[in-house]
A and B are shown apart, each in its own frame.
Chain A
Amino acid sequence: MNMQDVSDNNLHNDENNPETKEIRRNDDKLIYEISRPGRRAFSLPECDVPQCSIEEALPHECLRRDGPCLPEVSEVDAVRHFIGLSRRNYGVDSGFYPLGSCTMKYNPKVNENAARMDGFSKVHPYQPQETVQGCLELMYEMERMLAEITGMDRMSLQPAAGAHGETTGLMMVKAYHEWRGESGRNIIIVPDSAHGTNPASAAAAGFDVVEVRSDSRGCVDIGALRELANERVAALMLTNPNTLGLFEENIVEIADIVHRAGGLLYYDGANANAIVGISRPGDMGFDIVHLNLHKTFGTPHGGGGPGSGPVGVKKELAPFLPSPLVEFREGMYCLDYDRPLSIGKVKSFYGNFGVIVKAYSYIKTLGAEGLRRVAESAVLNANYVMTKLKNCYELPYDRSCMHEFVLSGQTQKKNGVSTLDIAKRLMDYGFHPPTVYFPLIVKEAIMIEPTETESKETLDEFIEAMVRIANEAETGPETVRNAPHSTAVARPDEVKAAREPVLRWRPVQYSVKSAKCSDNLR
């Protein structure tokens, strides 16, 4: 297998040719470093109204002395700069991106077109409700589609991301118990395999966190859970399938244990791609659910966001959902703020509407059958790759997986090759590495989620690369340990970055200020 054709991106090192290297335009300069005094790219009209003196109208002390130090570039400078940056980045459209727990599936283009329609993108959130009936109808319908998919009664589309949905859901848990006069319930149980956001969200909502251990099969240890389930438990947070990619087979019993103790069950929807159209959290006994529209429902991750993390609940919890909700009354869609038990607002306005449009468009395209095929194909792809790799890498939980699986690099570690090395070596073969060192309960974890949108050839190429790396770890571990060999930068010094933080560019002439500030930063 050859390295991926990288002609359209610049991730890989093209400095090998010494003759052209010297005069080749250096495209890794900061925008500030290409700034030239007097250059401009903006286009603003001349002022067409009678002007008043700003200095007279505003008190002197509230005006800024110097303008902010922003780059001075021409439009073509700016375009080439940012296009240059894009060529040093890697997206799903560039190639395979098997980041476990992140569901890096293909982002259909038509959804982008839909979200950019003027009637969605050029709408002010406070416009009169009669002028935004299309937005409200879409949100109304989206809420009901997601509620049906998850088996919930009502949903709020307000949270901006998965972790934001978690906080919102846990705030509702708290409000619900307080309303029932059980404010002593201040513990959230999370499995030791949980996403880091789970305990952090619980803390943000004002709870204490207790971990429940996993059993030898990688699922919640039922005995341990029984011991923890008491009158102080507010809820159990669970991802199902869990972060090992394994379905919690005892989910009915787990729900029963938590409910009998008076607690609630929270579903972290990060892994919903495995079960969409197949099984519903609401039917498993979950009371609260969040979904990541940017995972399961095909909206792009945007290099880190924006996402959308709608949160759904069963009837009893619906009064606590954030305000407003969209209702349909007297032939009109409207925003209902009159919800006295609501936890309030968790975000300005109504959520990441632009992302919601894309996910709505995705669901409408696929339909019920399409969604089911998504889960089936995601699970098939994961099992195929797992089957092919389990002879070369340790598979700590050797059974059928769902949409992802976790290998351990412990065999390779014996030759001094770490999971990080394997991840970096994959870059030389043209792949984005999987999630590594998570979940925490697997040593040298390699968490692979292929998603349903990858073809057998792509999977086979990835498998071949992984097999070769396993061989390299035996025969030439140095190659793997020193990877990547082909990228423009390799193994940036993260320790240095954290010890001596340089978090912004500073102009040379400001060196005095710079010295002072970097002292502060330490």
Chain B
Amino acid sequence: MPDYIPNTLEEQRAMLKEIGVDAAEDLFACIPESVRLKKRLLLAGEGMAEGELLKHMRGLSLKNRNLDECICFLGAGAYDHHIPAIVEHIVSRQEFYTSYTPYQPEMSQGMLQAIFEYQTMVCELTGMDAANASMYDGATALAEAAVMACRATGRREAVIPRTLSPENARVLNTYARFGGITVNEAGYDDGKINLEDIERKITQETAAVIMQNPNFFGIIEDVSRIGEMAHRKGALLIVSVDPISLGLLKPPGEAGADIAVGEGQSLGSPLCFGGPCLGFFAASGALVRRMPGRIVGQTTDRSGKRAFVLTLQAREQHIRREKATSNICTNQALNALAASVYLAVMGKEGLRKAAELCFQKAHYAHKRLIESGKFAEVFKAPFFKEFVLKSGEPVAELNRRLLKEGIIGGYDLGGSYAELENGWLVAVTEKRTKDEIDKFVRLAGEFR
């Protein structure tokens, strides 16, 4: 079976001879007998030839329903947006995907420049001054932003609204528990942050107010108002944003955010059962040297030519060790590259158009579902591409019915929000056609 080892036994023998030992086993003499593996690994099996492997993998993959066979109205943090064909072609270039972190700039100008362009695009999208080279995903970017805010303010508390996505909140809570950060939760009103409640919860101890826009319910929050509340108490404002929405919505930087983060999967990465995704991370100029992760900077080489390097490395684990701003090393560079290609292809006009299509189609679906008489509006506040309705039948049953017809229905909110029993979070991207939405509405409204 293939093991990708080029050397023949004869060559290996010649090498052993040069080393001065008889057998490869002799090189392992330093491993005490008592900790050697004496039995055979059973689960790894006998190995497979390429054809056998592909058959096996295809078999497994066919046990899943893929989104090309279905019509997807599910979002809740991971979205079925169109990926331009060129993205895959670029990220499949071996010079990119088989390279390491660009430690040696002379041999890595391509990736370094691509990341520099990515940082520029993230700054433009978010209206922030500087962006890093990527984080693992939107949720860890948000959690690291909280840690950074605590260091920057010398405070140990964070305020989050219940309109933050459950994935974001759960990851933040884990980081907070072990990082010694207290998290206080503010409620919501008509699907938006309850302003009185959050204002009460922001105190002189608050390091950061952490919000999501559009929020988990798809609703557009009043970012500026909350930013003012945070800043009045000396807290930072962290906003997690949907990058597609930024074709249309005011960037967090203009609404007072000190740190903007988000999930960049929508920017050219396939859903892939939830990973690899892309955490983007941007901050105001004053906070640049506190940012986690790799950052690419422009400089000149010895002949004065423009060149790119990893920079501000004094923040990082390999220099600063336990005093680093974060322990992140490997990030999601290839997904950041995909995002650069995506944003280059879309351009200013394309991103706006994608955002408008999402908006129009979501609003059409919303209107039609309510007109069916089987769904009730839960919140009146304006939304972007996702909305909440109350279903007349349990969401699990509704989704099961839809699945039989090849439709993946919305997210069941009842699991994370007890007060939203039968709450159905529906996402509509630019990929959905009128026919698909009409079919979805017809079937969804068919019960009883």
Contact = CB atoms under 8 A, between A and B. Distances in A.
Contacts of A344: 170-171, 173-174, 177
A453 B6 contact: yes
Given A58-B382, A89-B108, A279 B272 contact: no
Given A89-B108, A114-B54, A432-B104, A343 B174 contact: yes
A71 B330 contact: no
Contact of B41 (A106, A148, A304, A497): A148
A196 interface: yes
B301 A54 contact: no
Contact of B45 (A124, A163, A368, A501): A368
B385 interface: no
B242 interface: no
A206 B320 CA distance: 16
Nearest to A58: B382
A135 interface: yes
Contacts of A11: 106-107, 109
A306 B140 contact: no
Given A200-B324, A497-B297, A521-B130, A346 B171 contact: yes
Given A122-B270, A134-B64, A304-B333, A67 B58 contact: no
Interface in B1-51: 1-7, 11-12, 14-16, 18-20, 24-25, 27-32, 34-37, 40-48, 50
A23 interface: no
B309 interface: yes
Given A58-B248, A70-B344, A432-B107, 13 more contacts: A42-B346, A71-B344, A104-B100, A106-B4, A125-B78, A164-B328, A252-B34, A279-B37, A365-B2, A379-B27, A387-B20, A490-B106, A503-B116
A484 B321 contact: no
Interface stretch (B117-125, B195-203, B229-237, B371-379): B117-125
Contacts of A455: 6-7, 11
Contact of A62 (B30, B65, B220, B340): B220
A31 B2 contact: no
Contacts of B215: none
A505 B124 CA distance: 10
Contact of A43 (B84, B312, B321, B322): B84
B113 interface: yes
A354 B276 contact: yes
Contacts of B15: 380-381, 384, 456
A220 to B, nearest CB: 14
B63 A123 contact: no
Given A40-B349, A67-B352, A171-B178, A300 B97 contact: yes
A209 B180 CA distance: 16
Contact of B35 (A161, A205, A284, A374): A284
B268 to A, nearest CB: 12
B95 A94 contact: yes
A124 B408 contact: yes
Contacts of B439: none
B162 interface: no
B182 interface: no
A252 B332 contact: no
Interface in A357-374: 357, 361, 363-371, 373-374
Given A90-B95, A125-B273, A374-B5, A501 B311 contact: yes
Contacts of B123: 504
B204 interface: no
B53 A126 contact: no
A497 B309 contact: yes
A358 B399 CA distance: 31
Nearest to A115: B272
B335 to A, nearest CB: 6
B84 A123 contact: no
Given A30-B113, A283-B37, A363 B44 contact: yes
Interface in B74-90: 74, 76-78, 80, 82, 84, 86, 89-90
Nearest to B402: A128
Contacts of A380: 12, 15-16, 19, 24, 27
Contact of A303 (B77, B100, B125, B403): B100
Contact of A387 (B18, B263, B346): B18
A163 B324 CA distance: 13
Contacts of A366: 1-3, 44, 47
Interface string B400-419: 10010000100100000000
A379 B28 contact: yes
Residue among B62, B101, B329, B343 with max Cβ neighbours from chain A (10 Å): B329
A504 B121 CA distance: 8
Contacts of B434: 48-49
Contacts of A302: 96-97, 99, 332-335
Residue among A32, A135, A161, A303 with max Cβ neighbours from chain B (10 Å): A303
Interface string B308-327: 11011110111111111011
B63 A490 contact: no
A149 interface: yes
Given A131-B403, A348-B171, A364 B274 contact: no
A163 B248 contact: no
Contact of A122 (B36, B68, B347): B68
B44 A367 contact: yes
Given A348-B139, A455-B7, A163 B329 contact: yes
A75 B345 contact: yes
A137 B137 contact: no
30 contacts: A32-B117, A42-B353, A51-B360, A52-B360, A62-B249, A79-B86, A84-B110, A119-B58, A120-B64, A123-B272, A125-B273, A132-B65, A144-B43, A148-B44, A160-B276, A167-B327, A203-B324, A303-B100, A303-B102, A306-B330, A306-B334, A309-B330, A355-B275, A355-B276, A366-B2, A368-B46, A452-B4, A488-B106, A493-B307, A503-B297
B217 interface: no
Contacts of A351: 274-275
Interface residues of B, number: 209
Given A83-B93, A284-B35, A78 B99 contact: no
Interface in B423-443: 430, 433-434, 437
A160 B136 contact: yes
Nearest to A99: B100
A423 B102 contact: no
A370 B3 contact: yes
A342 B177 CA distance: 12
B94 A427 contact: no
Interface string A436-476: 00100000000000001111100000000000000000000
B326 to A, nearest CB: 7
B281 interface: no
B204 to A, nearest CB: 24
Residue among B76, B168, B353, B433 with max Cβ neighbours from chain A (10 Å): B353
Residue among A64, A292, A384, A435 with max Cβ neighbours from chain B (10 Å): A64
